[in-house]
């Protein structure tokens, strides 16, 4: 495609071009071939028709071309020109693939997900279509870039030329935007609407912002202590039995696909037979694991949370350990995103001899293997965090055993757009069905121990998932524009036969909160402290689900 753009320049022989002209031509190819998602989003935002639409879209093409040229011109010196253009071509090809295939946008959260993706997750995203994009929009343009002879001016004339090109770009931008300012203004006022689609400025800006955040975090050498006064309350110490909580961090489960929440399919056949409390209106802290997991274990609410705070402040698990509880984090997902670094933690070995592992992946029931032995060794109050693989996409078909493939036919590829809506819904619902089974098995484990310890289970998903609605797949959409499918998450609780009684909590009062509309991940930090009886000045009763249901003594 880039060869076509440059054809008139090369003609019968490869004709030398100036460095700035190569930048302009490359920018033109980016506008034409790498920004299909941008053009699609723009059409949806403007809803223009007729001559006005043609004029506006033409002005936007000039605006985009000038803006990208302005961005790349400072790199049009001999040592940097071809390496930079090659890198941009390769990265932009990859960005175009993911935006066009999965309907995603690219911001700092998405780039953080990319950088924190483990090899197993990355492998799940590899496909022939990806290699096609990398070949046609990556390797081919790179070959042409390096094949074209480029002439470079002497230093001073070259600097003057580049300054003039930049001034020209600014004038083109002004001329493009001016006549249509009333149309441009609302589009760019909310950056989530369009700028996260523009390739390559979206990922360049995101990488720059993420780098700045990372540097700021590294400058904060000392982790800020939280809840240094955390102690087990006298009331908790006087309970007849020790407490054992299993906190299950779910993955990519959306609340509207739980039959417990009214979904037409019976995706929760086992949980509905358990004596659970199901909370129907729970909002996630973010739309990705990298945000939601550290956020739900942080003292900071979503409105005040940041990646820097998540990485530089202690969290809930640190406080529980300080209060004398045994804490362990078991992971069958990517990792704990920094949440478990200061407490005992381990990943489930994928190569362990287990009916739940195949050498590359483990089903979530692998988290329960050997857990009884650990429970038998406990002498103190304890919390076990299980980070499940849940409904992690796009290879949903790998998240459950084939014996639980109840809904068919299924989407059996990571190219979700090539599957029918029914196939995608079927395979996703099978993952929810298996999550239901895994949670029920966790409850059964706790039941076997409820006579000797006060047992409880809290399950909440980190975020939801888009299944092709409006052309969007997977998750990690900017929270401000994320669909409810990505932010409305399931939450289930189960308690042993004496747990609530020993904690002086009225179950009927708690049951009445199941449809409370304002619940969110913000409640997790304080509710766990409250249920386990940990006193600290960081505790906020208003964000403790259990607090208003406490029975007064005497």
Helix (H/G/I), strand (E/B), else coil: 376: helix
Residue 385 has pLDDT above 70, yes or no: yes
Give a three-class secondary structure readout of 114-134: HHHCCHHHHHHCCCHHHHHHH
Residue written as token pair 């020209």: 168
Report pLDDT for 219.
58
pLDDT band of 414, cuts 50, 70, 90:
confident
Residue 191 reports pLDDT greater than 80 = no
Task: Return the closest-CA partner of residue 442 out of 276, 239, 211, 200.
Answer: 276
Confidence of residue 361 (pLDDT cuts 50, 70, 90): confident
Mean pLDDT of 165-190: 84
| Distance in angstroms (rounded) separating the CA atoms of residues 311 and 460 | 22
Task: Give the pair of three-digit tokens for residue 531.
Answer: 């249920």
> What six digits make up the tokens of 75?
């790199």
**pLDDT tens by residue, 456-469:** 999 999 999 999 99
Q: How, if at all, do strands 345-347 and 326-331 pair?
A: parallel
Is the whole-model pTM more than 0.95? Answer: no
**Nearest CA to 242 among 502, 36, 463, 64?**
502
pLDDT, tens only, 310-335: 989 999 999 999 999 999 999 999 88
CB contact at 8 A, 17 and 151? yes
Reduce the secondary structure of 319-361 to three states and give it as a string: HHHHCCCEEEEEECCCCCCCCCCCCCEEECCCCCCCCCECCCC
Share the mean pLDDT of the chain: 91
Pairing assessment for the beta strands 231-232 and 242-250 based on DSSP bridges: unpaired
**In which band, very low, low, confident or very high, does the pLDDT at 178 lie, cut at 50, 70 and 90?**
confident
- Reported as half-sphere exposure (CB side, CA atoms, 13 A), residue 153 has a value of 13
Enter the tokens of residue 500: 């609530």
Are 362 and 392 spatial neighbours (Cβ–Cβ below 8 Å)? no
Note the pLDDT tens digit of each residue in 36-53: 999 988 888 777 788 988
* CA separation for the pair 550, 64 (Å, rounded): 59
pLDDT at 554: 53
Reported as a single tens digit per residue, the pLDDT across 67-122 is: 999 999 999 999 999 999 999 999 999 999 999 988 888 887 788 777 777 777 77
The SS3 call for residue 377 is helix
Return the ∠ at Cα 105 (arms to 2 and 429), rounded to 5°: 120
Tally of helices (H runs) and strands (E runs) in the chain = 23, 14
Phi-psi region of 153 (alpha: psi -120 to 50; beta: other; left: phi over 0): beta
CB atoms within 10 A of CB 232: 19
CA angle, corner 112, sides to 208 and 321, nearest 5? 125
C-alpha distances (whole Å) from 149 to each of 81, 122, 466 are 12, 37, 46
Q: Is the model's pLDDT at 12 over the cut of 50?
A: no
Across 119-139, average pLDDT: 87
Residue 11: the pLDDT is 44
Q: What is each CA distance from 254 to 273, 292, 544, in whole angstroms?
A: 21, 14, 23
- The answer to whether 55 and 100 have CB atoms below 8 angstroms apart is no
Q: Count other Cβ atoms within 10 Å, centred on residue 491.
A: 25
Judged by average pLDDT, the poorest of 80-84, 153-157, 391-395 is: 153-157
**Structure tokens given for 52:** 């006005």
Residue 218: what pLDDT?
A: 62
Whether 400 has a pLDDT exceeding 80, the answer reads yes
Average pLDDT rounded to a whole number, residues 167-184:
89
Residue-wise DSSP of 77-95 = STTTHHHHHHHHHHHHHHH
pLDDT, residue 439, reads 98
pLDDT bracket for residue 13 (50, 70, 90): low
How many C-beta atoms surround the C-beta of residue 457 within 10 A? 24
Percentage of the residues of the chain whose pLDDT score is greater than 90:
72
pLDDT single digits (tens) 204-226 = 988 888 887 777 666 555 789 99
C-alpha 373/C-alpha 277 separation (Å) is: 28
């Amino acid at each position: 495609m880039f060869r076509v753009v440059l054809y008139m320049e090369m003609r019968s022989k490869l004709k030398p071009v100036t460095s700035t002209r190569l930048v302009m031509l490359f920018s033109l190819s980016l506008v034409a071939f790498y920004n299909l998602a941008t053009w699609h989003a723009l059409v949806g935002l403007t809803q223009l028709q007729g001559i006005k639409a043609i004029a506006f879209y033409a002005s936007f093409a000039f605006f985009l071309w000038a803006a990208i040229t302005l961005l790349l011109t400072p790199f049009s010196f001999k040592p940097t020109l071809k390496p930079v253009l090659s890198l941009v071509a390769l990265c932009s090809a990859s960005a175009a693939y993911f935006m066009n295939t999965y309907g995603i946008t690219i911001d700092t959260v998405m780039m953080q997900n990319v950088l924190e993706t483990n090899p197993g997750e990355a492998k799940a995203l590899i496909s022939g279509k990806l290699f096609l994009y990398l070949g046609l929009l990556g390797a081919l343009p790179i070959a042409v870039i390096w094949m074209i002879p480029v002439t470079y001016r002497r230093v001073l004339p070259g600097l003057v030329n580049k300054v003039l090109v930049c001034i020209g770009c600014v004038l083109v931008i002004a001329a493009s935007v001016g006549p249509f300012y009333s149309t441009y203004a609302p589009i760019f006022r909310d950056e989530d609407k369009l700028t996260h689609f523009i390739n390559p400025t979206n990922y360049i800006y995101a990488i720059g912002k993420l780098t700045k955040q990372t540097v700021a975090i590294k400058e904060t050498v000392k982790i800020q202590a939280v809840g240094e006064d955390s102690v087990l309350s006298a009331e908790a110490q006087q309970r007849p039995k020790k407490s054992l909580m299993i906190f299950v961090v779910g993955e990519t489960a959306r609340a509207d696909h739980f039959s417990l929440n009214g979904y037409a399919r019976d995706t929760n056949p086992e949980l509905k037979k358990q004596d659970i409390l199901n909370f129907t209106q729970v909002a996630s802290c973010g739309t990705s694991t990298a945000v939601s997991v550290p956020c739900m274990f942080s003292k900071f609410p979503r409105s005040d949370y940041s990646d820097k705070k998540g990485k530089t402040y202690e969290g809930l698990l640190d406080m529980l350990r300080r209060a004398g509880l045994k804490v362990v984090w078991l992971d069958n997902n990517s990792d704990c995103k920094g949440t478990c670094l200061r407490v005992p933690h381990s990943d489930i070995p994928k190569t362990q001899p287990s009916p739940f592992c195949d050498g590359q992946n483990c089903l979530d029931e692998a988290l329960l293997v050997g857990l009884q032995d650990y429970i038998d060794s406990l002498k103190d109050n304890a919390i076990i965090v299980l980070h499940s693989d849940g409904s992690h996409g796009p290879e949903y078909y790998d998240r459950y055993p084939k014996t639980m493939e109840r809904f068919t036919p299924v989407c059996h590829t990571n190219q979700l757009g090539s599957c029918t809506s029914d196939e995608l819904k079927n395979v996703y619902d099978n993952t929810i069905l298996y999550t239901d089974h895994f949670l029920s098995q966790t409850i059964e484990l706790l039941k076997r121990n409820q006579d000797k310890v006060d047992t409880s289970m809290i399950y909440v998903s980190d975020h939801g998932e888009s299944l092709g609605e409006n052309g969007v797949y997977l998750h990690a959409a900017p929270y401000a524009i994320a669909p409810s499918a990505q932010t409305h998450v399931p939450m289930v609780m189960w308690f042993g036969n004496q747990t609530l009684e020993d904690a002086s909590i009225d179950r009927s009062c708690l049951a009445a909160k199941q449809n409370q509309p304002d619940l969110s991940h913000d409640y997790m930090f304080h509710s766990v402290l409250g249920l386990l009886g940990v006193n600290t000045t960081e505790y906020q009763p208003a964000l403790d689900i259990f607090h208003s249901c406490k029975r007064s003594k005497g």
